[in-house]
Amino acid sequence: MSRFFPNLSQHHYEENKAEIAAALRSLYFPWWRCLCLSQEYWRLCQVDGKTGDPAFARVYKHFGDVFKGDFGLWWTKRGKQTFAHKVRPPRVRFANPSDLEEIMRHGVVPNAQVLVIPDHYSKTDLIKQFRKLLGDFEPGPLPKAYASPFEVGDLRGIKRSVLNDILKVWVTNEAIKVIKAHQMTRRPELLTHAWIGKVAEIQPERRSDKVRTSATDRNERLALRVKVSRYLLKASRLIANAEIGDFPSLSPLTPNPKRWTSRQLEAFNAMEHDAPFRSPLVKYEDFYPHLP
């Protein structure tokens, strides 16, 4: 069966290596990262997808255990099946006799728009008219014959660079938790949100022409702490939405009260008391050179 990826640069690849490289540049990669950073999804993997949350269970059914191996291995085993369209969806084309027959019978062509294009316009004029004509056009869902089990949303309102920074801040904060828990630094009180912002490299560039005072430095540290706090909130929402198949989304969520049984929660608490969850993406050793 032909695999078609609408969110990869070339849509179709003959070599698995090139396909993985393209997937690493796409939104599929940060979605995988979010699941790898999720304690809730790690719990789900420990119980083989048994949960009272249907949306959560559906994600596990398709994504599987993301904690086994790196992204390339997961993509080869699970990712491509999760995100590939079954066949190449229809493209913009000229109407054919079967389309005209559909119009005669039903007045429409299923899952398509019909346009009348006069022959005397130039391409430039046609493009202008298309833009005006399609100004309010809203795309419909892809027919099930083509659609993949999951689709990434658009980045409307979220810059790709900010998305990466949000996850970088989350990883840094999780690393600090490990460092503090194991007393790996003599000055844990210095591992503040401002420190996270500097290590995650999200602080704004300093203007060379700006007169620097103690108040300037203090205000910049405060702004950085606020920014880190906001990014941590956004990361928690990004991860929570990824868990139920909505990515990228920063919408607040109310946890499903039926996600876990009381027996499952007791088992998780006992398990995590001896071995707390730590994402394989949180490599706290990488932060040793930055410790105060």
The predicted pLDDT at position 145 comes to: 58
Question: What's the CA gap between 7 and 22, in Å, rounded?
Answer: 9
Q: Are 3 and 146 in contact (CB under 8 A)?
A: no
The predicted pLDDT at position 19 comes to: 92
Tens-place pLDDT, residues 31-71: 999 999 999 999 999 999 999 999 999 999 999 999 999 99
Are 22 and 127 in the same domain? no
Question: What is the number of other CB atoms lying within 10 angstroms of the CB of residue 236?
Answer: 17
Are 104 and 171 in the same domain? no
Are 127 and 183 in the same domain? no
Q: 1 pLDDT exceeds 50?
A: no
CA atoms within 13 A on the CB side of 240: 14
**Domain span at residue 125?**
97-133
Are 264 and 234 in the same domain? yes
* Average pLDDT of the segment spanning 138-154: 69
Note whether residue 10 is domain-resident.
no
The model's pTM is 0.77
Q: Is 191 helix (H, G, I), strand (E, B) or coil?
A: coil
Note whether residue 206 is domain-resident.
yes
Note whether residue 216 is domain-resident.
yes
Are 167 and 271 in the same domain? yes
Q: Is 68 helix (H, G, I), strand (E, B) or coil?
A: coil
Q: 18 pLDDT exceeds 60?
A: yes
Integer angstrom CA distances of residue 231 from 35, 47, 242, 249: 17, 30, 16, 13
Note whether residue 153 is domain-resident.
no
Tens-place pLDDT, residues 214-228: 777 788 889 999 999
Are 231 and 114 in the same domain? no
Are 169 and 247 in the same domain? yes
Note whether residue 197 is domain-resident.
yes
Are 78 and 111 in the same domain? no
State the Cα angle at 128 between 123 and 131, rounded to 5°.
Answer: 120
